[in-house]
Amino acid sequence: VTYNDWRGEPRSRHAKKVQAAGQPVGDCVDCNACVAVCPMGIDIRDGQQLECITCALCIDACDSVMDKLGKERGLISYATLSDYNANMAVATAGGFCSANPSLVRTDGGAFSEKLAHFHIRKIFRPRTFIYMGAWSAVGIALLYSLLTRDRLEVNVLHDRNPQFVTLSDGSIRNGYTVKLLNMIPEPRTIVVTMQGLRGAEMSVVGIDLPADRSFAVAVEPDRLKMLKVFVRQPADQVGSATQTFKFRVEDKASFETDEYTATFNAPEIAR
């Protein structure tokens, strides 16, 4: 937002008297309407300021005053720095004098053809096409990531305490919190399978299913389902104190899958 002092200065509340005295006068009548409507309380005529939030209320206020005076709108307007500098050079005769309204207008009162002004052709410049290409690439990348994002996700947390439990038959049991995330607005039946960890079986707390290496569970639309899962491995099958295996989840209807690599802890004496 810019105050075009190349056409507004010198400002005066008594333009007719000043003109009658043979002195130059700009379009600004010093009504302070722009200051009165500014929510930040600044005077845009003092130049660009950090406090300006570009709300354009001063533009509307000034345009309404110009309409009442029968003058062209745009005394305060959106302007590029290059256009402002070019017009200021015209109004000051290349910097050799202060802003003189007679230099920016013809004898008939119209603006001089030397003044720079906005034209639609200024939009179509190489820089504009570069910006359009860059933003289009960003938009396409975001759209691609949205369309190809995972709609099924599994996350697993190993119990911190205890790390493992030795059961009465000598087998080792680890506890896990399995989180199944369904990111579609439809219910799903998810099959959870354990891969690796020979001889091991899973059991789910709260679900009456026999211990096995896989189980199926229903997940509501756009919901996260948390399961408490125990994995038990016979003592004679334990290969080391720390083993890795995978929880694999699959939606049999859409064939979407996801995997999570977990660890199975056992005591040293069980090896």
- Digit-by-digit pLDDT tens for the chain (271 residues) are 999 998 888 888 887 888 778 788 889 999 999 999 999 999 999 988 999 999 999 999 999 999 999 999 999 999 888 888 888 888 888 877 888 888 888 877 788 888 876 666 667 778 889 999 999 999 999 999 988 888 999 999 999 999 999 999 999 999 999 999 999 999 999 999 999 999 999 999 998 889 999 999 999 999 999 999 999 999 999 888 999 999 999 998 889 999 999 999 999 864 4
Sheet holding 242-251, edge to edge: 214-219, 188-195, 242-251, 257-265
Instruction: Say what the pLDDT of residue 119 is.
Output: 63
Instruction: Say what the pLDDT of residue 261 is.
Output: 97
DSSP string, 180-222: EEE-SSS-EEEEEEEESSTT-EEEETTS----BSEEEEEE-TT
User: How far from the centroid of its chain's Cα atoms is residue 156's Cα?
Assistant: 30
Q: How far, in Å, CA of 263 to CA of 235, rounded?
A: 16
Instruction: Say what the pLDDT of residue 118 is.
Output: 62
Q: How far, in Å, CA of 248 to CA of 195, rounded?
A: 7
Range list of H helices, the chain:
5-8, 15-20, 33-37, 57-69, 81-91, 126-147
Q: Exposed/middle/buried for 169, CB within 10 Å: 0-12, 13-18, 19+?
A: exposed
Is 90:6 a contact under the CB 8 Å cutoff? Answer: yes
Is 209:187 a contact under the CB 8 Å cutoff? Answer: no
Using the 8-state DSSP alphabet, how is residue 11 labeled?
P
In residues, how long is the chain?
271
Residue 2 structure tokens = 């810019």
Residue 172 structure tokens = 């080792």
Rg of the chain, C-alpha, whole Å: 38
Question: Which residues have a Cβ under 8 Å from the Cβ of 172 and sit 6 or more positions away?
Answer: 164, 165, 166, 232, 233, 235, 238, 264, 265, 266, 267, 270
First to last CA, the chain: 77
Instruction: Say what the pLDDT of residue 20 is.
Output: 79
Q: How far is CA 104 from CA 2, 8, 27, 63, 115, in A?
A: 17, 11, 11, 19, 7
Instruction: Say what the pLDDT of residue 271 is.
Output: 43
Instruction: Say what the pLDDT of residue 121 is.
Output: 66
In this prediction the pTM is 0.53
